[in-house]
Amino acid sequence: MTNHWVDIKNANVIIVMGGNAAEAHPCGFKWVTEAKAHNHATFIVVDPRFTRSASVADLYAPLRTGTDIAFLGGVVNYLLSNDKIQHEYVKAYSNAPFIVAEGYRFDDGLFSGYDEAARTYDKSTWAYETGPDGYAKVDETLQHPRCVLQLLKQHYSRYTPEVVSNICGTPRDTFLKVCEIIATTSAPDRTLTFMYALGWTQHSVGSQMIRTAAMVQLLLGNVGMAGGGVNALRGHSNIQGLTDLGLLSDLLPGYLTLPREKETDYQGYIAKRALKPLRPGQMSYWQNYAKFHVSLMKSWFGDAATKENNWCFDWLPKLDKVYDVLQVFELMHQGKLNGYFCQGFNPLAAIPNKAKLSGAMAKLKYLVVIDPLATETSCFWENHGEYNNVDPAKIPTEVIRLPSTCFAEENGSLTNSGRWLQWHYQGAPPPGDAKPDADIIAGIFLKLRELYRKEGGAFPDPILNLAWNYRIPHSPAPEELAMEYNGKALADLADPKEPTKVMVMKGQQLDGFAQLRDDGSTACGCWLYSGAWTEKGNMMARRDNSDPSGLGNTINWAFAWPANRRVLYNRASCDPSGKPWDPKRKLIGWDGAKWSGADVPDFKPDSAPGDGMGPFIMQPEGVGRLFALDKMAEGPFPEHYEPFETPIDTNPLHPKVISNPAARVFKGDIEAFGKSKDYPYAATTYRLTEHFHFWTKHTSLSSIMQPEQFVEISVELAREKGIKAGDRVKVWSSRGFIKAVAVVTKRIKPLKVNGKTVHHVGIPIHWGFKGIAKIGYLANILTPFVGDANTQTPEFKSFLVNIEKA
């Protein structure tokens, strides 16, 4: 989230789209009802289903699953053509005035530079026009035909209300009503907040859906404002933390990135990431990349990381491609993986196309599952009849299952979607012999290290030299680990302003990432988390919930990254002269000498408004990007592409380019996609408020609340198919079938799309062949093996099925 949960109460308009906060995040959703009750906010839900969020909305707009870019593109068009943008903000804080390089084009569904064979773009034309000084060119009048604003207008002029209604199935009047309400927040003293989750990410164009919302927010001047922003609600309790800590194939902690195999030169690796400002006077904070990177390597490899060996740069594995889960299971399916570890992850249920996954896992030599619960993944080799029809005798995989603790049995911190790191405490011992994850990892690692020490083997250096100075080596304490990722001084650090003064003494905890050095005198496991455990102690355990500003920032509660900042980009909540756009919701302001206020400024604290530094300090140009340059895989402007399994067989905008031309998809899977003549119904999977993924079916209370697998269909479809509420139905896609109870509801309505009636089939995901709830089918039996072009997140939200009475 750019903002945080409590901040939602400051909004004037709230849109839940691509998510269902009332069901998936009920306790955070309270800040929506709070905004309605005490800020007289208007609440809008846009969703294929009339969800529990919609049940308390002022306005509900239906749309066909997977068409959010068309909808939001229509909003962009509405705002531009009705002049409902916040001009001063757009001009000063977005790249609207920037001039785009001449080669950039968009024709008939494709941007310039497409390579059809590789399904990728050469993005060199998606760039700014630069001057001889190396800076990007701008046109303050916003009239240049190649300035971003003009290109934006041109791109979205196609998204008229009629086109939107035709693609999305949203009634035109409803769509326009939504636009009108959104448009009211272009006033500087009104804000809109977008709340989304996996309803946006789980599409082949998921990242671009989110980007479209971000663009709407930039045009309205709502980014950086209290009650504004683009808010990813996120799924798991620490999904934010694990992302921040970089537990992804191509990342290192703190959004540092692993080198590609072409980047064998350390200096080149740093230079590419330490971005120089694209406009004069900009901060371009990534210029500090080397400080973060060197401190990380010191944290991991200790004394072995030296300037001479480029801080062990060679020890980091180099990427030839991104090994996301879809790629990994594709390789596993091809028999190219021998071993796999699943730590608190149930991929047999959580990745699409169960049949493919199950076949892939049976090709593994060994599988290690670390989990508090008996997951389907650990039991993938067990026969459970129709629910998991495999022959154990034919599965040669060695499976080792290791019991881990759950939240209640360990100390530690979790990072919520508002970026708060909160510490928790152990309340009871684990059951049986279960161990904390850290102990299990330590146990495995130390054994492996012992083997390498004794036997030698392939490139043992990083394993032998990994810094492991924990008091009890086989049981690293959470407190030690937290202190490690916060960072400490490895030598006395001098104050840069007064070099004779020692700012931090050797061995002391650092106060924050501003103290990091690139000369090896600091160690820090995750620069973004620096400040979480300082010399003052554990900042994540702070419990002062006072809120003097009334905006809900509670800055002495726990610790928020970065630097305990609660609202990102909060410099943008003030006009260029440093005065808040809305004095009633003042986050920070220029007090004549520095920036101060109810939040930690997301800015250089002493940079006066006149200096012209832009509020988006992580960007080399200092402003928000309406034009994404080369940062997105499928284009600098979001474009509507149909789901890979589309119920209308075409893309009304450009029939030749139907689906995302750069999406993550493998050849065998493309051929297996269902067509609407065999699978006429648009299906979407989702969570229910009673359950959490595949855990709570192991929980008695949750299983009582929603005991048995079901699917939701409209009254109309039920009538067509002769299905009554409570009947058992069979739902199948080109990948397999499930059987479940039919819930027939008025909350799903057929939509008129491109001259055709489109029915939705809603498929909650929570059941499987393990658990104490009624045994059911894993819903990913149905879902397609295709992912977003940027995040590779699978398209769980839009695919095709057929249905009949079982």
Partner 1 sequence: MALQSLDITRRSATTTPSPSQRQTPEVAKLIDVSKCIGCKACQVACMEWNDTRDAIGTNHGVLDNPTDLTENSWTVMRYAEVETDRGLEWLIRKDGCMHCANPGCLKACPAPGAIVQYSNGIVDFHEENCIGCGYCITGCPFNIPRLSKKDSKVYKCTLCSDRVAVGLEPACAKTCPTGAIVFGTKADMLRHAEERVQDLKSRGFAKAGIYDPQGVGGTHVIYVLQHADRPEMYSDLPRNPSIGPLVELWKGAAKPVASLALAAIGVGAFVHYVTKGPNEVSEEIEKEFEDEK
Partner 2 sequence: MRVTRRQFFKVCAGGLGSSSVVMLGFPPADALAEVREFKLIRSTETRNTCPYCSVSCGLIMHSLGDKAKNAASSIFHIEGDPDHPVNRGTLCPKGAALVDFIHSPNRLQYPEYRAPGSREWKRISWDEAFTRVARLMKDDRDKNFIARNDAGATVNRWLTTGFLAASASSNESGYITHKAIRSTGILAFDNQARV
> Does 22 sit near partner 1 (CB under 8 A)?
yes
> Does 266 sit near partner 2 (CB under 8 A)?
no
- Residue 647's nearest CA partner among 574, 780, 751 is 751
**Which one of partner 1, partner 2, none interacts with residue 722, CB within 5 to 8 A by kind?**
none
Tokens standing for 667?
């050849």
What Å distances lie between residue 701 and 21, 28, 557, 696, 724, CA to CA? 21, 21, 31, 8, 28
> Does 200 sit near partner 1 (CB under 8 A)?
no
Binder among 105, 276, 336, 579 for partner 2 (CB under 8 A): 336
**Rounded Cα gap, residues 382 and 377, in angstroms:** 10
Question: Of the ranges 21-29, 257-265, 295-303, 547-555, which one interacts with partner 1 (CB under 8 A)?
Answer: 21-29
Q: CA torsion angle for 265, 268, 272, 273 (degrees, to 10)?
A: 70
Q: How many residues bind partner 2 (CB under 8 A)?
A: 167
**Which one of partner 2, partner 1, none interacts with residue 691, CB within 5 to 8 A by kind?**
partner 2
* Partners of 665 in the β-ladder: 786
> Does 345 sit near partner 2 (CB under 8 A)?
yes
> Does 608 sit near partner 1 (CB under 8 A)?
no
C-alpha dihedral sign at 39, 598, 562, 482: negative
* Partners of 128 in the β-ladder: 100
Q: Which is nearer to partner 2, 365 or 719 (CB)?
A: 365
**Which one of partner 2, partner 1, none interacts with residue 40, CB within 5 to 8 A by kind?**
partner 1
Three-state SS string over 184-210 comes to HHHCCCCCEEEEECHHHHCCCCHHHHH
Q: Cβ neighbours of residue 493 under 8 Å, at least 6 residues apart?
A: 502, 503, 504, 505, 515, 517, 521, 522
Give the pairing of strands 664-665 and 786-787. Answer: antiparallel
> Does 173 sit near partner 1 (CB under 8 A)?
no
> Does 26 sit near partner 1 (CB under 8 A)?
yes
Least Å from the CB of residue 465 to partner 1 = 49
Binder among 4, 9, 36, 91 for partner 1 (CB under 8 A): 36
State which amino acid sits at residue 313. F
**Rounded Cα gap, residues 154 and 691, in angstroms:** 45
> Does 773 sit near partner 1 (CB under 8 A)?
yes
Least Å from the CB of residue 215 to partner 2 = 23
Binder among 224, 601, 622, 794 for partner 2 (CB under 8 A): 794
> Does 743 sit near partner 1 (CB under 8 A)?
yes
> Does 53 sit near partner 1 (CB under 8 A)?
yes
**Rounded Cα gap, residues 622 and 632, in angstroms:** 18
Binder among 199, 224, 253, 589 for partner 2 (CB under 8 A): 253
**Rounded Cα gap, residues 480 and 488, in angstroms:** 12
Angle at 730 between CA 727 and CA 735, to 5 degrees: 160
Q: Do the beta carbons of residue 609 and residue 590 sit within 8 Å? A: yes
> Does 237 sit near partner 2 (CB under 8 A)?
yes
**Rounded Cα gap, residues 416 and 418, in angstroms:** 5
Binder among 8, 10, 29, 215 for partner 1 (CB under 8 A): 29
Least Å from the CB of residue 27 to partner 1 = 5
**Rounded Cα gap, residues 35 and 41, in angstroms:** 5
With residue 218 as reference, give the H or E element that holds it: helix 206-220
Least Å from the CB of residue 50 to partner 1 = 6
**Which one of partner 2, partner 1, none interacts with residue 271, CB within 5 to 8 A by kind?**
none
Question: Of the ranges 55-63, 84-92, 218-226, 623-631, which one interacts with partner 1 (CB under 8 A)?
Answer: 55-63
State which amino acid sits at residue 32. V
> Does 255 sit near partner 2 (CB under 8 A)?
no
> Does 339 sit near partner 1 (CB under 8 A)?
no
Least Å from the CB of residue 396 to partner 2 = 4
Least Å from the CB of residue 54 to partner 1 = 7
> Does 482 sit near partner 2 (CB under 8 A)?
yes
Residues in 448-507 that interact with partner 1 by CB under 8 A: none
Residues in 14-33 that interact with partner 2 by CB under 8 A: 24-28, 30-31
The number of angstroms, rounded, from the C-alpha of 766 to the middle of its chain's C-alpha atoms is 21
Binder among 15, 16, 35, 54 for partner 1 (CB under 8 A): 54
CB atoms under 10 Å from CB of 787, counted, come to: 28
To which residue do tokens 């009304």 refer? 652
C-alpha dihedral sign at 134, 257, 662, 73: negative
**Which one of partner 2, partner 1, none interacts with residue 646, CB within 5 to 8 A by kind?**
none
Query: Where would I find the H helices in 604-709?
Result: 667-672, 700-705
**Which one of partner 2, partner 1, none interacts with residue 238, CB within 5 to 8 A by kind?**
partner 2
> Does 5 sit near partner 1 (CB under 8 A)?
no
With residue 26 as reference, give the H or E element that holds it: helix 26-39
* Partners of 801 in the β-ladder: 681
3-class secondary structure, 420 = strand
- Residue 180's nearest CA partner among 84, 45, 64 is 84
Q: Which is nearer to partner 2, 18 or 73 (CB)?
A: 18
> Does 238 sit near partner 2 (CB under 8 A)?
yes
Least Å from the CB of residue 35 to partner 2 = 14
Binder among 243, 745, 757, 791 for partner 1 (CB under 8 A): 745
Binder among 50, 341, 345, 692 for partner 1 (CB under 8 A): 50
> Does 147 sit near partner 1 (CB under 8 A)?
no
Least Å from the CB of residue 776 to partner 1 = 10
State which amino acid sits at residue 704. I
Binder among 33, 120, 397, 754 for partner 2 (CB under 8 A): 397
> Does 772 sit near partner 1 (CB under 8 A)?
yes
For the chain, the residue count is 806
Residues in 54-83 that interact with partner 2 by CB under 8 A: none
> Does 111 sit near partner 1 (CB under 8 A)?
no
Question: What are the residues binding partner 1 (CB under 8 A)?
Answer: 22-23, 26-27, 29-30, 32-34, 36-37, 40, 50, 52-56, 58, 60, 689-690, 700-710, 724-727, 741-747, 772-774
